[in-house]
Structure 1
Amino acid sequence: MHLSLPESDKNQLLEQLGTANLKFQRTYPGDRPDRQPVHTVYGGANLFKADTCQRMGDIALNSLQTYAPNFVELARVLRLEGHEHLPTLAAEVADLTARLDAMSEAERKKEHAWLAYSVYNKVLRKLRTEAVEDFRIDFEDGFGNRPDDEEDATAVQAAKELAKGMQQLTVSPFIGIRIKPFTEDLKQRGVRTLDIFLTTLLQETGGQLPPNFVVMLPKVTIPEQMTTMVRLFELLEQANGLPAGTLRMETMVEATQIIMDEEGRNPLMRIIRASEGRCIAAHFGTYDYTASAGITARYQTMAHPVCDFAHHMTKVALGGTGIFLSDGATNVMPIGPHRGEALTYEQLRENRESVHNAWRQGFAHTTHSLINGLYQGWDLNPAQLPMRYAATYTFFLSSYSDALHRLKTFVERAAISTLTGDIFDDAATGQGLLNFFLRALNCGAITEEEVLATGLTTEEIQSRSFYRILQGRRQQPA
């Protein structure tokens, strides 16, 4: 076999290409394997208490059990797959439920009622154990513009309540604060609240932050706002004895200018780079963005086409960077118009219809987000939580069989693929499949046993990295 290329020239060219390839991989490392919450619940800072997340779970559970006391009712309201075959009489529903309860999971999967039954029971379990995954103590829209003395006092009180929640283990797995934006008229207020809250919290906890703590900076339009936050973080870390890089942030997509700047470019990557690695997520602000696009209030919904345009532009700009993306909120609350205990039959019917209509809208919005690759969204009221999980579980469970086949086939081929040296391409493809199962596992849609059916081991699943899985299998003897 004869080769024509001079060895030294070839190696020099490939070395130059390798430098460019590695630079690209540093910029676009792929999806981050860390757990991403399926939602962020926003609540006014003045209302935050140490047990807020627990109380929200109680309200959410009561809402589900009041307006969908069984899985058949929920399936009909949401028109889940197979709902038309479910019984209508209460006795028949009870008999079907008892029969399904007595079955193994493998047996249930053969029943047409499996999806509806599984979704309902998983939602119940989630609301009882971890109803709120992520909570943002809100000093912006959820709090409003109040006198400085009042916001100062609220920042102190909210920090103390968070410290109490940390001690009592009542804090959601992910938590943070949203301060006011760094616009010219609100920058001083935003910085002051950040300083008061963090200083108080660290004093109360002996220098400890809750796990997965983050600061959200809203209405970002220029990189300099992110840079300023980074410098403030550095000062706060130094003043409070925190290790460098401890404080993390999120940005928000809320204005048309963050989708396209004055020169016709998408500035999102520059904005993320300005965070110097501290920004972990970009959240979409549905109502600020639609207002920025000139949409009148009546038509400002998540279903408006301008939202999809912004979503796709954001995904194109930040795809492969590891930045988590989150959709916005449904502003129709599943709360009946009539309150009180002595309600008439007609009032109870109107309450049920109102809640069910809001459920369908929230379910549809969340499903639309998931289909478009946005695995997180906002919730504004605890009564929205049942539909957040119902949509999420339906999405993952209805896609499970196909994803299982794909990943199982991929794992079986992994040893052959890695021997050919295609590790980066395979890792990127496999990571996307693995992330489906990790997201489904994290939110409770599937169990670890159902992930093990892919052929992965528990250790490989816990690594959360398909690259490491391939490396490990590559080192195994043939």
Structure 2
Amino acid sequence: MLAPILSALGDAAAAFDEAHPGFSGVRRPVHVVYGGADRFKADTAAKLGGLAAKAFSARMPDAEALARVTGMDSALALRVRPRVAAKLAGTAVEDFRIDFEDGYGPRRDAEEDAHAHGAALETAEGLKRASLPPFLGLRVKALSREHAVRAARTLDVYLSTLLAATRGDLPANFVVTLPKVAFPEQVLALADLLERIERGHALQAGTIKIELMLETPQALVSPDGAVAPRILVAAARGRCVSMHLGPFDMTASLEVDAGAQRLDHPANAWALRLAAAALGGTGVALCDGPVAILPLGEDPAAVDAALGLHYRQVRRALSEGVHRGWDLHPAQLPTRYAALYAHYLENLDAAATRLKRFLDGAAKAVSAGTVFDDAATGQGLLNFFLRGLECGALTPEEAAASGLTKEDLALKSFAHILARRV
């Protein structure tokens, strides 16, 4: 009598699990840097890293200065500063977006064609030199009435040129970012374009991934009142890996006056929370927007104020569960990593203690033949260490204090760690 009910419940649970795979353990960048396509070169990431290191030395030459600019505790600054310096000397730029939209502006067709062709050749050269960042992509113009033809052409010119120059190779973790999404047909169209390009160049289907930008109210709530982010992700047909907040377009669309627009405006907080709820457990990552007040000018106090603002906004995002954001200027990279590293180091001891207790308790429960039903919390604690290690905030020795071994970390799954230990 119960069999049909339990069978239907089992089918529903299987469908739910398929739609909510959770964190895959695949590395994710902690930021993205945008730059105009006309200025992109094979060594852009290295140059930005050099500028970031120079700015760090100039404005935060020691732990005392780092503490003053960011407001962090002096003892914490002593631990954070050498790690930031090491990061800037290594992979300072984790993700870069070759921009054909706001960071590029309107151009004549022949000019944009030339820049798409040139950016593709520079990408190919960077691939040859191994000088590209670990994550790379381009942002096309919106697939609107006004710009759809231009966006499709730029995408085709860039990818066709790149694939011809590399004999079919794409950079690792390559994505196409679609701005100002308002309805799912725009996402469907981009997926169709990418599918056609993949077929034409003998690429495996689904190779080129998609990022969607949250910049319009319609990207949050559909005309029939449904929560839109999940619908838009579905329209990408498995290609969507992340959604990025466009804070100034979003607030402008919600009729917030220009003088009141800011990254942490309540409208932007609401947009991120809605998207987080809609996409929770799907594996689609969220990315915070940029801090528009840049550390520029001759006034040291103004530069430090801009750096301090950037640091605080990164810390705010981390406290809200958003582990990635935009950087618009190389001087923001030091405060990005300072905020990240301070976050992980401040929370390290508590997280290590909790995870150690979780691992011990879960192993005992499984050994006793009972069900351990809090694996999601355990995975969240494990993710803290995985992210901290990937971005350079934590060392393997610090992770080991939680009871994690190198073999555990390689599994990247709390459930698999338990299975291995029992």
Same fold (TM over 0.5): yes
SS in 1 for 2:26: coil
Which residue in 1 is equivalent to 2:14?
A: 22
Offset from partner CA, 1:400-458 (integer Å, 9 cap, x none): 111111111111122233354636x4432221111111111111000112112222221
Which residue in 1 is equivalent to 2:389?
A: 441
Which residue in 2 is equivalent to 1:422?
A: 371
Which residue in 1 is equivalent to 2:50?
A: 58
Offset from partner CA, 1:353-375 (integer Å, 9 cap, x none): 11110011101111111111100
TM-score scaled by length of structure 2: 0.97
Which residue in 1 is equivalent to 2:132?
A: 171
**Which has the higher Rg, Structure 1 or Structure 2?**
1
Which residue in 1 is equivalent to 2:320?
A: 372
Which residue in 2 is equivalent to 1:107?
A: none
SS in 2 for 1:396: helix
- d(CA) in 2 for partners of 1:393, 1:456: 20
CA gap 1:196/1:421 in 2 versus in 1, 3 angstroms: farther
- d(CA) in 1 for partners of 2:162, 2:150: 18
* Counterpart residue type for residue 56 of structure 1: L
Alignment partner of 1:37 is 2:39: no
TM-score scaled by length of structure 1: 0.86
Alignment partner of 1:280 is 2:241: yes
SS in 2 for 1:249: strand
Which residue in 2 is equivalent to 1:76?
A: 68
Which residue in 1 is equivalent to 2:380?
A: 432
- d(CA) in 2 for partners of 1:421, 1:16: 25
User: Which deviates more from structure 2 when the two are superposed, residues 191-200 or residues 72-81?
Assistant: 72-81
Alignment partner of 1:311 is 2:272: yes
Which residue in 2 is equivalent to 1:325?
A: 286
* Counterpart residue type for residue 353 of structure 2: H
Alignment partner of 1:156 is 2:148: no
Aligned residues: 421
Which residue in 1 is equivalent to 2:407?
A: 459
* Counterpart residue type for residue 235 of structure 1: R
Matches within 5 A, 1:125-274: 125-274=86-235
Deviation for aligned residue 1:281: 0.3
CA gap 1:198/1:421 in 2 versus in 1, 3 angstroms: farther
* Counterpart residue type for residue 50 of structure 2: D
Which residue in 1 is equivalent to 2:263?
A: 302
Contact 1:31 1:432 in 2 (8 A): no
Which residue in 1 is equivalent to 2:416?
A: 468
User: Which deviates more from structure 2 when the two are superposed, residues 414-423 or residues 276-285?
Assistant: 414-423
Contact 1:33 1:465 in 2 (8 A): yes
SS in 2 for 1:382: coil
Offset from partner CA, 1:363-390 (integer Å, 9 cap, x none): 1111111111100000011111111111
Which residue in 1 is equivalent to 2:78?
A: 117
- d(CA) in 1 for partners of 2:109, 2:181: 22
- d(CA) in 1 for partners of 2:397, 2:36: 39
- d(CA) in 1 for partners of 2:47, 2:370: 52
* Counterpart residue type for residue 473 of structure 1: R
- d(CA) in 2 for partners of 1:284, 1:438: 24
SS in 2 for 1:215: strand
- d(CA) in 2 for partners of 1:52, 1:291: 32
User: Which deviates more from structure 2 when the two are superposed, residues 150-159 or residues 429-438?
Assistant: 429-438
* Counterpart residue type for residue 430 of structure 1: G
- d(CA) in 2 for partners of 1:164, 1:174: 16
**Equivalent of 1:393 in 331, 341, 345:** 341
Alignment partner of 1:410 is 2:410: no
- d(CA) in 1 for partners of 2:45, 2:371: 45
Contact 2:351 2:402 in 1 (8 A): no
Which residue in 2 is equivalent to 1:110?
A: none
Contact 1:327 1:374 in 2 (8 A): yes
Contact 2:175 2:209 in 1 (8 A): yes
- d(CA) in 1 for partners of 2:361, 2:17: 24
- d(CA) in 1 for partners of 2:405, 2:61: 38
SS in 1 for 2:251: helix
Contact 1:49 1:161 in 2 (8 A): yes
User: Which deviates more from structure 2 when the two are superposed, residues 58-67 or residues 223-232?
Assistant: 223-232
SS in 2 for 1:251: strand
The root-mean-square deviation of aligned C-alpha atoms, in Å, is 1.3
Q: Percent identity at matched positions?
A: 44
Matches within 5 A, 1:77-92: 77-81=69-73, 83=74
Contact 1:134 1:174 in 2 (8 A): yes
Contact 2:20 2:282 in 1 (8 A): yes
